[in-house]
Copies of this chain bind each other. A is one copy, B any other.
Amino acid sequence: MTQTENAPVGRLGDHELPPDFPELPRPLGPVEPAMRRSPGEEARTLVAATNVASLATLTEDGHPWASLVTYGALLDGSPVLLVSRLAEHGRNLARDARASLVVAAEPRGRDPLAKGRVTLTGHVERPENEDVARDVHLKAVPTASAYAPFGDFSLWVLRVEQVRWVGGYGVMDWADAGSYATSEPDPVASAADYAVGHMNDDHPDALLAMAVAFSGHTDATAARCTGADRYGLDLMVSTPRGKAPARVGFAQRVDEGDGLRQATIELTRRARAEA
């Protein structure tokens, strides 16, 4: 089991709230447990979704150095970099193998920190198999074929030792290196944004039914979908007592990229059957 079972949580975690900060409305009825992606799955999903990241390395005098890089990922999620000795980070890695990579989700909405990102730290090393590493990088970064033959570029594999996932405000967790290596990127990730928009635009009644049936907010008056993944949907539920985040889960994990629609239809049916 790589996933974790979570009741919906307040999205403010351990932040130190001012005394007058409004409390989130609490569920009035039972909350149906809903699965979420594990931190390892969140990390692998973010890493699989793009090919650009920021790298932290160490300069000769031990100062941190931030720079932009492209990457592909091996089957175990280890990022493969192709960097030039002309770049500071290329010289830094050749001198000191300690490195950290942050991969961020595409911004959604106007708040850059409401989106997910993951920090991977570890040591870089030359690839065991240069050809495999080069192919993985070039598949993820097709434009790299223009400079891959240049003599100043080298392949590096980041052996991931620590994984810190941040999902948004107060939503963060560690994944161990083993769980990162064996977790699977979410196959429905690329379909999620469309699904979220479609549910909000065309099926607000279905979302409200889910909120009433499963989130414990039995007085819900509306619900917006804020996220979708292979295990279920994230909702923001409006009640006369204020708005609260909630999680509603599919009966079964979705294993196919095009399975999100069917799972959402089944969840809606189940919600309406409870009404």
Among A14, A21, A112, A117, find the residue whose CB has the most chain B CB atoms closer than 10 A: A112
Across-interface contacts of A87 in B (CB, < 8 A): 166, 172
A66 x B113 contact (CB < 8 A): no
Knowing A62-B62, A88-B164 are in contact, say whether A113-B68 is a contact too (CB < 8 A): yes
Partner of A151, one of B16, B53, B65: B16
A150 x B55 contact (CB < 8 A): no
| Total number of A residues with any Cβ neighbor in B under 8 Å | 56
Q: Tell me how many chains of this kind the complex includes.
A: 2
Partner of A63, one of B63, B113, B121, B147: B121
| Cα distance A142–B112 in the bound complex, in angstroms | 10
Contact with B along A127-157 (1 / 0, CB 8 A): 0000000000000011100010111100000
- A-to-B contact residues, CB < 8 Å: 13-18, 21, 51-59, 62-68, 70, 84, 86-88, 98-102, 104, 107, 110-114, 117, 119, 121, 141-143, 147, 149-152, 164, 166, 169-170, 172
B70 x A113 contact (CB < 8 A): yes
B152 x A63 contact (CB < 8 A): no
Report the minimal beta-carbon distance from A66 to chain B, rounded to whole angstroms: 4
Knowing A64-B57, A119-B65 are in contact, say whether A18-B104 is a contact too (CB < 8 A): no
A99 x B143 contact (CB < 8 A): no
| Cα distance A13–B152 in the bound complex, in angstroms | 12
Q: List 10 A-B contacts (CB under 8 A).
A: A15-B86, A53-B66, A54-B104, A56-B66, A57-B64, A68-B117, A86-B172, A87-B166, A88-B119, A111-B143
B70 x A65 contact (CB < 8 A): no
Knowing A15-B150, A15-B152, A141-B112 are in contact, say whether A99-B64 is a contact too (CB < 8 A): yes
Partner of A16, one of B62, B107, B152: B152
B18 x A102 contact (CB < 8 A): no
| Cα distance A17–B101 in the bound complex, in angstroms | 28
